[in-house]
Amino acid sequence: MVRVAERYLEREVKLDVDDAFRVPDLDDLAPPGGVLDTVQLTLDSTYFDTAPRDLLAADVTLRCRSGGLTDTGWQLKLPSGDARTEMRLPRGEGAGVPKELRDLTAGLRRGRGLRQLARIRTERSVYRLSDANGRLLVEVADDRVSATTLGDTAIISTWREIEVELADGGAGLNRTIVKRLREAGAQPSTSSSKLARAVGQLVADRPSPAAAAQGCTVGDLVLAYLLEQRQGLLTGDVDLRDGSDAIHPTRVATRRWRSTLRTFGALFEAERVSALDGELAWYAAVLGAVRDPDVLRTHLRGVIAELPDHVVLGPVANRVEQHLISEREHHRRTLLRALNGRRYYALLDALDSWIADPPFTAAAGEPRARAGKLAAGAQKKLDRQLRVAASHDDVEHVHRARKAAKRARYAFELAAPALATKAAKRRIAKIKVIQDTLGEFQDSVVATETLLRMGIRAGTSPNENGFSYGLLYALEQQRAEAVRRRVLDKLR
C-alpha cells in the first residue's frame, strides 16, 4: 500500500478554438472588490504510459510537469464522474517514474513497464478571477500547445484550446463563462486530454456511458452500465493501492456487473457469461472478506454499548474490536496480494475485452424498451423470493431474497434511461429499502456466527467468561426474527 502526498479534484471544461479566436472580456464577472488577473506561463510536460497505452485506454494520464503555478511535479489524473481526481507527488531528483506512482498504476497497466509517450509544451495565458478576499473563483487558460509523440515514429502537432477550471465560484459562474466563450466561437473539445489529442485519440473514438445510454437498443443500455462499472473497478483499484476506503464501492461495482450478467443473460453468449461470472465472484469474495469485519465491528460496537454494565463480564468490547481488526488485516493482506496477481490481471483483461467487443447475441439488438421488461422480470423474482422468505424460517431463503433485491435494484438502474424517470427512481428507492432491511437480517446472522466462536473461546479460556457473548448472540437472534417479521408484515 502506498500513500500519495496530495489529492485534488479537478473540474474543467475543455474547448477547441482556432488561432484567430479572441478571449472575450471577463472583467464584468468579477464580484464587488474582486479582480481578474492575467498570468503568462510556459508548461513542459512529459507523459508516460505502457507500449499498448493501457493508461490512456482507461482515460488515465501520468505526467511530470514543470512551469506551473501549483500543478508542477508528478501528476496522476483519474476520471471521477464528471470531474478528474489528480494525485500529486513532488518531482524529486530521479528521472524515472516514482515507485509510488508505479505501484498505484500496476493494475491499470497489468504490471507492464512504463515509458515516455509524449512531450507537450504549452504557452498558457491564465485569466484568474478572484473575489475581494483573494479567493480564486474560476480560472480560464488559453493554451497554445505543441506536442511530440515518442516512439518508433515521432508525430508533431500544434493546436490551441481553452480550459475553464472551476474553483470556488460555483457552477453558475462556470456556465456563464463557457457560454460567453461559445458565443465567441469556441467549440466543445474533440479530445478528453492534451495527451489524447497528441496521439490522435478523439472523444468520439472512446466508448462512454453517456454516449452508449443514448443508443436505441437494449445492448446500448447494457454497455453503458458495464462501462460505468468497469470504470468503478479501475478507480477502485488505484484507491485500494493508495490505502483509501474503497472496498465498498469496488465491491458494489463487481455486484452490479454480476447482476447484469444474470438479469440480462439472454443478451450474452452463455459460455462467456459463466467464465466471467466466476472470476467476478472470486474478486467480490476477496473484497467482502475485508469489508465484512468493518461492518460487523461498527454494528457490534453499538450493540455492546447499549448493554447494562452488570451484564458485560470481562473486556468484551475490546475482545470483539481486536478480533475483528485482526481478521480485517489478515484479509486485507490477502487482497493486496491478489491485486498484484495473474488471476486479477486476467480478470481486468477480460473486462476490457467485454467492453471492446461485447459477446452480445442477436437479442441485444432489440429496442431499448426490452431493458424495462427484463427489469420487471427481476422484480417478479424478488416478489417471489420475499413470499418464500416470509413463510419459512430458513436463513438461506432470506439471503436469497436479499440477493434478488440487489439484482432487481441494479436492473432498474440499468433500464432507467428507457423508463419514466420518476417512476424508475421510486422503484429503485423502494427496492433499496427492502434490500437494506434484509441487510439488517444478514448483519445479525453474521454476528451470531462470530459471537458463537468468541463465546466458545471465552468459555474455555482462563479469566474469561462466555456469558456476555451468549447474551449478545440471543439479542442478534431476536433482531433477525424481528426483521423477518417486518418483511412478512409488508407482504400482508
**Is it the case that residue 492 has pLDDT exceeding 60?**
no
**Is it the case that residue 90 has pLDDT exceeding 80?**
yes
Kindly indicate whether the domain formed by 6-205 is annotated with CATH number 3.20.20.100. no
pTM of the model: 0.88
pLDDT at 2 (0 to 100): 59
Average pLDDT of the residues in 177-199: 93
Q: Which residue has the higher pLDDT, 208 or 109?
A: 109
As a whole number of angstroms, the distance between CA 234 and CA 225 comes to 15
pLDDT at 395 (0 to 100): 85
As a whole number of angstroms, the distance between CA 68 and CA 243 comes to 28
Q: Which residue has the higher pLDDT, 297 or 67?
A: 297
pLDDT at 80 (0 to 100): 81
pLDDT at 460 (0 to 100): 81
**Is it the case that residue 388 has pLDDT exceeding 60?**
yes
Question: Which residue do the cell numbers 456487473 mark?
Answer: 257
Average pLDDT of the residues in 408-437: 93
Q: For the segment 215-271, what is each residue's pLDDT rounded down to a tens digit?
A: 789 999 999 999 999 999 999 999 999 988 899 999 999 999 999 999 999 999 999
Residue 295 CA from chain centroid, whole number: 20
Give 135's contacts (C-beta < 8 A, 6+ positions apart).
Answer: 167, 168
As a whole number of angstroms, the distance between CA 459 and CA 52 comes to 59
Q: For the segment 35-50, what is each residue's pLDDT rounded down to a tens digit?
A: 999 999 999 999 999 9
Q: Are 126 and 38 in contact (CB under 8 A)?
A: yes
List, in sequence order, the alpha helices (H) in 306-420: 316-339, 342-356, 369-391, 395-415
Q: Which helix (H) or strand (E) holds 367?
A: none
170: alpha, beta or left, given left = phi > 0 and alpha = psi -120 to 50? left
pLDDT at 168 (0 to 100): 80
Q: For the segment 251-266, what is each residue's pLDDT rounded down to a tens digit?
A: 999 999 999 999 999 9
pLDDT at 207 (0 to 100): 60
CA angle (198 as vertex; 197, 200 as ends), nearest 5: 60
Same fold yes or no, 6-205 and 218-491: no
* 208: confidence class by pLDDT, cuts 50, 70, 90: low
- The maximal CA–CA distance of the chain, rounded, in angstroms, is 85
pLDDT at 391 (0 to 100): 81
R_g of the chain, CA atoms, integer Å: 27
Domain parsing of the chain, residue ranges: 6-205, 218-491
pLDDT at 308 (0 to 100): 94
306 φ, ψ (degrees, to nearest 5) = -85, -10
For 129, other C-beta atoms within 10 Å of its C-beta total 22
Which residue in 13, 12, 17, 14 sits closest to 160, CA to CA?
Answer: 17
Q: For the segment 328-377, what is each residue's pLDDT rounded down to a tens digit?
A: 999 999 999 999 999 999 999 999 999 999 999 999 999 999 999 999 99
Q: Which CATH architecture has domain 218-491?
A: Alpha solenoid (1.40)
**Is it the case that residue 92 has pLDDT exceeding 90?**
no
Mode of pairing for the β-strands spanning 35-49 and 115-130: antiparallel
pLDDT at 206 (0 to 100): 56
Cell of 95: 528521472
pLDDT at 464 (0 to 100): 80
For 204, other C-beta atoms within 10 Å of its C-beta total 9
As a whole number of angstroms, the distance between CA 249 and CA 237 comes to 11
Q: Which helix (H) or strand (E) holds 12?
A: strand 12-17
**Is it the case that residue 420 has pLDDT exceeding 90?**
no
Which residue in 149, 168, 166 sits closest to 157, CA to CA?
Answer: 149
Average pLDDT of the residues in 455-466: 84
pLDDT at 71 (0 to 100): 73
149 φ, ψ (degrees, to nearest 5) = -80, 150
**Is it the case that residue 187 has pLDDT exceeding 90?**
yes
